[in-house]
A = this chain, B = another copy of it.
Amino acid sequence: MNEELSVSYITMPQGFKANGVSAGMKCPDPANINNDDPKSSYLDVGMVYSDKLCNVAGVYTSNLVKGHSLVRSMGIIEGTGKAKGIIVNSKVANAGVGAVGIEDADRVAECASSLLGCDKSEILTASTGVIGTRLPLDKITSAIPSLVHGLSVAEECAHNAEYAMMTTDTVPKEVSAQIELTDGKTVTISGMAKGSGMIHPNLATMICIFTTDCGIESASLKKMLQKAVKYTFNRVSVDGDTSVCDMVVVMANGASGVSVTEGTEDYQIVEDALCKLSEDIARMLAADGEGATKFVEIEVHGAKDEKDAKLIVTSVARSPLCKTAFFGEDANIGRILTAVGYSGASFDPEKVDIRLSGLLMYKDGAAVAFDEDEASRLLAEHDIKVDITLYEGDAYDRMFTCDFSYDYVKINGSYRT
């Protein structure tokens, strides 16, 4: 990736339009909206659309229970692998409502496709929010005409699409990169995502949409996306809860006139860019985890094998005791050691080194004296790093997470009501 752009929005790749409107789900009374309200507090239906049919690929939640809007999209992506657009709504997850859930998602797609003059099977659907409640179809279908008629390449409309899918996110998460290929031609990739609770591999309460004007054949696009998510989206844990609605979708419309083919240097350049943007978004998701005051990156070196490496970073990232200690800026190495110990990984407890933001605090199976002032200073930073070194093999892994704060409890103690 040659240039990561300072301004990022989903319609930067050629041929994509977007929009976001209020269907009155987040804010039932439009009279209550005023100019001071953040757009994420009332926009609740968003769309990304390409007139040119896209090759699409997706990865989906591993939860056995899957949201109905997601199941419908999976059918399309794994079926034809083609789509023109995606409609996302927040507030209601369209999950756990029975057979009617897929019909509801289908109605939403149909309503948009009839206005756009395309087939309803070319419109993907995604929903995020409360589980067990039916989509308010009357509200959504009433809002779709203004959603569709307002579709535009304009930056503001693109941001509105992002705001429309945010739930407890406090900041939008948008990335873009312009990529120069070997012959000097450029393609563009953009991504936008929402978090920010019920996040744990694989995947996360997370919807991420990538657009690119690069032409990529369907099967290759799928492989590229799977590679991109592996150590990025699948290494974010906010609270250990894997949601039912989550997916990452990439839409490639080829509108730049430039295509890449697997096995070429250009393909690798595009793949690297998608991996880098995925990592950027994964970091943003962790940093904006519900109630988060810290971004925490956990790395393990020298694990016996990949499986053990992943067990260890997952165990620490998931531990409420480690996460509350990060919140308290408490250099509690014992909790990290404990989480490593019960991870299920096999290692010699007498040969473990642990560093907190670079400071060696545990070596050869015993705590070492460290400078408490230095530790306090390091833990007061927003970004905290945990390095765990075993001496069992060469395997490495990492995970992005955040701390557990009062606000996590506050946000989640009364989310539904």
Contact = CB atoms under 8 A, between A and B. Distances in A.
Given A239-B321, A319-B241, A330 B413 contact: yes
Contacts of A339: 241
Contact of A333 (B62, B98, B132): B132
A313 interface: no
A133 interface: yes
Interface stretch (A12-20, A247-255, A364-372): A364-372
Contact of A338 (B63, B349, B405, B410): B63
Contacts of A62: 342
Interface stretch (A29-37, A89-97, A111-119, A142-150): A89-97
Nearest to A349: B65
A409 interface: yes
A328 B96 contact: no
A242 to B, nearest CB: 4
Given A241-B338, A341-B244, A362-B132, A413 B320 contact: no
Contacts of A365: 96, 98
Given A98-B365, A197-B321, A239-B320, 4 more contacts: A64-B347, A65-B340, A132-B334, A334-B416
Interchain residue pairs A-B with the least CB separation, the first 10: A131-B334, A328-B413, A98-B366, A65-B341, A132-B367, A324-B412, A242-B342, A63-B341, A328-B414, A239-B320
